[in-house]
Structure 1
């Protein structure tokens, strides 16, 4: 008989929805959950939007600023329990920032649209899978956020490859890595997860 080891339930599903990487979680430890998460994220959205509007994504010397500013503002709030009335807005705002930065940076550097959508597709698949499994109480393993780099790590990687001028190759490698990681982990998790009551009843009847 195979025993499925269940991943511990996170203290807040809203925190899990954030998809924080090692950088953001490390900054959260510095403030020990004392910083409300929503105001800094809103500020990060405004600053990132301004930077993208003035062409920061297309400037090799300034491309790193958008994710760095977002990380500095939103990262410390990662350790907060997100139990405020409007704290549920934090994850979708982080998604908006990440997707907008990936798209803006790619198009500004004339990256082929197929590569941009390939990378965005990997992110969308992961976030959809994360939302669905949390609703079903099938929690992701703790190492997934680290291996997947988190929203913060992925934005930093994009900005760094933009600085090198190798954005097309960077987008391709990052997309292939994320698709392989997220698809493999999702498939193995759902196959190993507990079956529904109806499926278990059918198996018991056949036995």
Structure 2
């Protein structure tokens, strides 16, 4: 099988789609990959969703961190191979929870809708690009998840903005940073791998 990639091949494409940041990845290493990924993700997402419905993102104290901190429990399964029958559900659950948190905090703090759309758009672009690259075997570099802060880092940073009552500013800065980072890295990666899609397609045919 021929692979086209710019970085080491991930041991699990499902795990690579999680987009874990340093904190979530560290939690997974702490338990040595012994915890299945789906149960903690489902439990954490359920509690996080309940907190969002209760309106904690509108609080002006440390409770604004509650959804992000609770979802960190999902990091315990980050080092698992994600080889279970339903483990493919983990990335979309993390995606929806992060998007919901960003939207809830943004609308709850009267952030201009365009800023909310720009920030969620930057994150969604990265997630779409990540899935497409994994399919085409144009693998992202290992530093990208840390530079992009991961879902955990982004949520904590936005919550910190809520604590300081700087949500619009944080949304604007983070949107510009993420669009610049993900857009530049994606463009340079695809330009450095011309014909990667054809090569991957040929490899699939040969298999």
TM-score by length of 1: 0.91
1:91 is the counterpart of 2:91: yes
**Runs of 4 or more consecutive aligned structure 1 residues displaced over 4 Å after TM superposition:** 196-199
Do the aligned partners of 2:5 and 2:139 also contact (CA within 8 Å) in 1?
no
Q: Secondary structure at the match of 1:63?
A: helix
Matched with 2:36 is: 36
Q: How far did 1:6 drift?
A: 2.8
Give the Cα–Cα distance (whole angstroms) in 1 for the partners of residues 152 and 183 of structure 2: 20
Distance 2:103 2:157 in 1: 14
Counterpart CA distance in 1 for 2:115 and 2:152 is: 20
For residue 170 of structure 1, what is the aligned residue in structure 2? 170
SS across alignment from 2:17: helix
Correspondence 1:104-123 to 2 at 5 A: 104-123=104-123
Q: CA deviation at 1:60?
A: 1.6
Partner of 2:202: none
Q: 1:10 to 1:162 in 2, by over 3 A?
A: same
Question: What are the within-5 Å matches in structure 2 for residues 1-207 of structure 1?
Answer: 6-61=6-61, 62-71=63-72, 73-196=73-196
Unaligned runs of 5+ in 1: 200-207
Larger Rg: 1
SS at 2:64's partner residue?
coil
Give the root-mean-square deviation of aligned CA atoms: 1.5
Corresponding pairs, count: 195
Distance in 2 separating the partners of 1:146 and 1:95: 17
State the distance in 1 between where 2:93 and 2:121 align: 18
CA displacement, residues 79-135 of structure 1 (integer Å, 9 cap, x when unaligned) = 000000100000000001100000000000111111100100101110010011111
User: 1:198 and 1:185 mapped to 2: Cα distance?
Assistant: 21
Q: Secondary structure at the match of 1:187?
A: helix
